[in-house]
Amino acid sequence: MGVPEDAGWSWAKNDGRPARFIDLCDAGMYVVDDRGRIIEVNGEAERLLGRTAEELLGRDAHDLLHRGKHGEPLPWSRCVMRRPLMTGGAAHGRGDLMERGDGSLLPISWMVTACRIGDGKLGALVLFSETEPAVRTAWSGERGAPASMSELDRLALLAETTTTLTSSLDEAETLRQLVHLVVPLLADWAIVDLFTEGGGVSRAAVVHYENGAVVHREDLEGPMPPVPQGSSMPLSRALRGVTATIAGPEDYQGPPDAEIAVVQRKLFQATGMHSACIAPIRGVREVVGALTLGRSRRTERFTPGDLLLVEDIARRAGLALDNARLYERQRRVAETMQRHLLPQLPRVSGLEMSACYVPAPHASQVGGDWYDAFDLSGDRLGLVIGDVVGHDLDAASGMAQVCNMLRAFAGEVELPPSKVVDQLDQAVARMTEDTMATVVYAVLQRLEDGRCRMRWTNAGHPPPLLVERDGRARFLDAGSGLMLGTGIPAERVDATIELPPESILVLYTDGLIESPSRTLDDGMSRLRRHAASLAQRPLSSVCQRLLSQVRPDDNDDDVAMLILRVPC
């Protein structure tokens, strides 16, 4: 974040967790991480805020505590207590408000200073004390925005909406952020109806503000009836992109003109909303859905000025959701192309083989991992596991080229694996797009006496794992050399091993073992330990078990695996 190494405080144990600090007589303290979540709190803070440590830890301090002069939640852009977290340094103030656990407001004087919380990450230490007795909110304990927002507040909210909603290309995250922006600042309830790819409508989110948290009403979510073209009901008009409307339960009391009006009447009854703004969510080319903001606890009704603000927010949400859906379609195209390029494994008498490919969990992480197996002359079998550097459509395209070239070079003449990979490296250097890749190419041969011998070379890839029938496991580290596409001349070598009967060979890509939260050695040890426990399992189950037991939860890469069992 552009903060010098010596800026702020350093507050961490050797394990990276914040150290527990002592309680002060009159001051509360808490520490937030680089995302603003509370990771440590002292006893005085618990007392002043009327909340236990369990209620505070892991929560976003800004969303949970910081309030404006009327008790309303603050847009991030107006919160001075967040600035040291973003820019480093320190800040202090007096007369600001925090919300206590019982809904009352705590006037405070405060100081915030940047601190390091482990692994070089920036957090912030917050020190605060009470300046006068806590007071109730300005509208009889109802949390949310005051009856009207100033023009400056409206502009700040719209700016924050644009910044926040365009920060993600994931539809679910965009919806979560949208709800977070408007509840409880503008409304007690937020309902999002979206068109599905098949042209139907789904109620994607129904949430309300309760006891300081946004709560989902899953019983009100799910598929919706079709939208009739002739319906004059507010939601139907919004979903057709006609207009935004202020509505209430009275609009749905008459005879319904369509089944979707019946569902909307039940929504008003279940939520207790007495006033709602219903606005189209428009994308670049078409209507994406509709946004409904409703008030039930607070008594003031929505005004035409509120409707214009909600319409602006819905328009920004539409562009963000449109972009997220476009990106997801592109990701699916790349993933589908990659899956179709991966081969069908050949049938080899007496040899069991299994393979799998799992895309990365995030839409932006379509990668270039692949596996391959193909027949060669002389009763030999070629085995490949590889990874083209990158996480996009170009990586998937590069993977297809490298995979096909390797097959072609391997089938031309009977060359040792190192020579085949040498030819491949030279061909990669001549590709139009700069491409780098790691690969293990192995040749498995069944000898006359029934034994299996493998000869392989490794171009910068994680080493194969050999698991014997009795559970002994070891990595095959020999035959290693430079990855493909570096442009550096390399003397590649081959390694040879006789594979024990009924042993398992595991070829895998780095997505199975790498993680930001642990070392590569830890990942490899975990793979070896779990693979050893599966030595006598049916081969068809080994891939899925290794994925579930070894693949890190914070994995952000795709995974390819090729596993075979040597005949007895």
Please name the helix (run of DSSP H) or strand (run of DSSP E) that holds residue 461, with its range, or none: none
Strand partners of residue 280? 290
Give the mean model confidence (pLDDT) for residues 395-402. 80
Model confidence at 139: pLDDT above 60: no
> Is the pLDDT reported for residue 261 higher than 50?
yes
Mean pLDDT of the chain: 84
Query: 């503000």: which residue's tokens?
Result: 209
Tokens read off for 176: 């979560």
| Residues 83-100: tens digit of each pLDDT | 776 666 788 888 888 988
Beta strands 245-247 and 275-282, pairing class: antiparallel
Tell which wins on pLDDT, 429 or 273: 273
pLDDT at 528 over 90: yes
Q: Which of 507, 495, 466 is nearest to 370 (CA)?
A: 507
Compute the distance between CA of residue 341 and CA of residue 326 in angstroms, rounded to an integer. 23
Mean pLDDT of 42-58: 91
Local confidence band at 434 (pLDDT 50, 70, 90 cut-offs)? confident
Winning range, highest mean pLDDT, from 211-215, 294-298, 461-465 = 461-465
The amino acid that residue 157 corresponds to is L
pLDDT for 166 equals 82
Mean pLDDT calculated for residue range 477-501: 93
Is the pLDDT higher at 457 or at 450? 457
State how far the Cα of 477 lies from the Cα of 482, in Å rounded to an integer: 13
- Give helix then strand counts, H and E, for the chain: 13, 25
User: Is 64 a residue whose pLDDT tops 50?
Assistant: yes
- The answer on pLDDT for 429 being more than 80 is yes
Which of the residue ranges 57-71, 369-383, 408-422, 511-525 would you say has the lowest mean pLDDT? Answer: 57-71
**What is the reported pLDDT for 373?**
94
Nearest to 339 by CA among 384, 396, 394, 389: 396
pTM as predicted: 0.54
User: Residue 382's pLDDT band (boundaries 50, 70, 90)?
Assistant: very high
pLDDT of residue 136: 40
3-state secondary structure of 244: coil
Give residue for tokens 């990659």. 338
pLDDT at 3: 38
Confidence class of residue 425 from pLDDT cuts 50, 70 and 90? very high
User: Which stretch, 228-237, 319-328, 414-423, has highest mean pLDDT?
Assistant: 414-423
Residue 411: pLDDT band with limits 50, 70, 90: confident
Per-residue pLDDT for 15 more than 50? no
For residues 353-380, give the mean pLDDT: 80
Given a contact cutoff of 8 angstroms between Cβ atoms, the answer to whether 194 and 216 are in contact is: no
pLDDT at 494 over 90: yes
- The region of weakest confidence among 241-245, 345-349, 389-393, 516-520 is 389-393
Per CATH, domain 9-130 is 3.10.20.90:
no
Amino acid at 39: I
Q: Which segments within 135-200 are labelled E, that is strand?
A: 189-195
Contacts with 359 (C-beta within 8 Å, 6 or more apart), sequence order: 335, 338, 365, 366, 367, 558
**pLDDT at 513 > cutoff 90:** yes
Domain boundaries, the chain: 9-130, 151-331, 342-565
- The residue-averaged pLDDT of 339-353 equals 81
DSSP 479-542: TEEPPBTS--------EEEEEPTT-EEEEE-GGGT-BTTB-HHHHHHHHHHHHHHTTTS-HHHH
Query: Is residue 40 pLDDT above 80, yes or no?
Result: yes
Confidence of residue 156 (pLDDT cuts 50, 70, 90): confident
- Percent of the chain having pLDDT more than 70? 87
The predicted structure's pLDDT at residue 253: 87
Binned at pLDDT 50, 70 and 90, residue 367 comes out as: low
- When mean pLDDT is compared across 5-14, 61-70, 151-160, 412-421, the lowest value belongs to 5-14
pLDDT of residue 140: 35
Better-scored residue on pLDDT, 241 or 432 = 241
**Would you say residue 180 has pLDDT above 80?**
yes
Residue 134 has pLDDT above 60, yes or no: no
Q: Do domains 9-130 and 151-331 have the same CATH topology?
A: yes
The three-state secondary structure class of 396 is: helix
Pick the CATH number of 342-565 from 3.60.40.10, 3.40.710.10, 3.50.50.60, 3.20.20.80: 3.60.40.10
What is the four-CA torsion angle of 129, 131, 134, 137, rounded to 10 degrees? Answer: -110
Higher pLDDT, 494 or 163: 494
151-331 has which fold?
Beta-Lactamase (3.30.450)
Provide the token pair at 194: 């979206």
Higher-confidence residue: 449 or 345? 345
